[in-house]
Amino acid sequence: MSESFRGSVGRKVVSRASAQELGGINHLVVDGRGRHVASVVVGRGKKARFVDWAQVSGFGPDAVMVTDETSLRVPADDRERAAAEGKLELVGKRALSELGNELGLLDDVTFDANSGALEELVIDDRRILASSLLSTGSYAAVFDKSQEP
C-alpha cells in the first residue's frame, strides 16, 4: 500500500502495547542512499522525538502503530537534531541533477507503507522513480542525470 509524505503529516502515532497516543507525525526522515524511510519525527523542535522505522509495526490511514512508548527516542546526533528542526525534510526541498541543474521543488514523496521503501518523488508535475535519487541533505535532493529535462 502506498502512502505519501504530505498525507502522513499530522497522523497519530499510537503505542501498540498500551493503545496510548504518543503524538503526531511532523515529518519523515529518509536514508537517501538506501532510498527508504529511516525514521518518523513525532512532534516539533526541541520536543521532537524519533521512531526508527524498525519500530513501526503498522502504518495505517488513521494511525501509525509503534511497538511501545520506548520506541520514541531523542535525537541521537547532529543530523537528527537538524531533522527535528525540519532541515532535512524532503517535501519543499530543491531537486538538483548530479550535473548541478535545477529540476524544481519536491512536492511529495510516495513510499511503501509496509517496508518504508521510497517509490516515487514528485517534482512539479513530474513523477520520478526513487531509484533516481542519489542523496539528500539540508540543501537539496540530488538525482541522477537521466532526470534532466
Q: Which pLDDT tens digit goes with each residue over 80-125?
A: 888 888 888 899 999 999 999 999 999 999 999 999 999 999 998 8
More confident residue, 2 or 46: 2
Q: Which residues contact 33 (CB under 8 A, 6 or more apart)?
A: 135
Ordered DSSP codes for 18-51: T--EEEEEEEEEEETTTTEEEEEEES-GGG-EEE
Please state the pTM of the whole predicted model: 0.90
Q: Terminus-to-terminus CA distance in the chain, angstroms?
A: 30
pLDDT band at residue 45 using 50, 70 and 90 as cut-offs: confident
pLDDT at 147: 85
The 10s digit of each residue's pLDDT in 62-80 is 999 999 999 999 998 998 8
Domain 2-84 falls in which CATH fold? SH3 type barrels. (2.30.30)
DSSP state for residue 139 in the 8-state scheme: S
Per-residue pLDDT band at 57 (split at 50, 70, 90): very high
Report pLDDT for 87: 87
Confidence (pLDDT) at 7: 95
CATH topology of domain 94-147: SH3 type barrels. (2.30.30)
Q: What are phi and psi of 98, to 5 degrees?
A: -65, -10
Q: Do domains 2-84 and 94-147 have the same CATH topology?
A: yes
- Domain coordinates in residue numbering, the chain: 2-84, 94-147
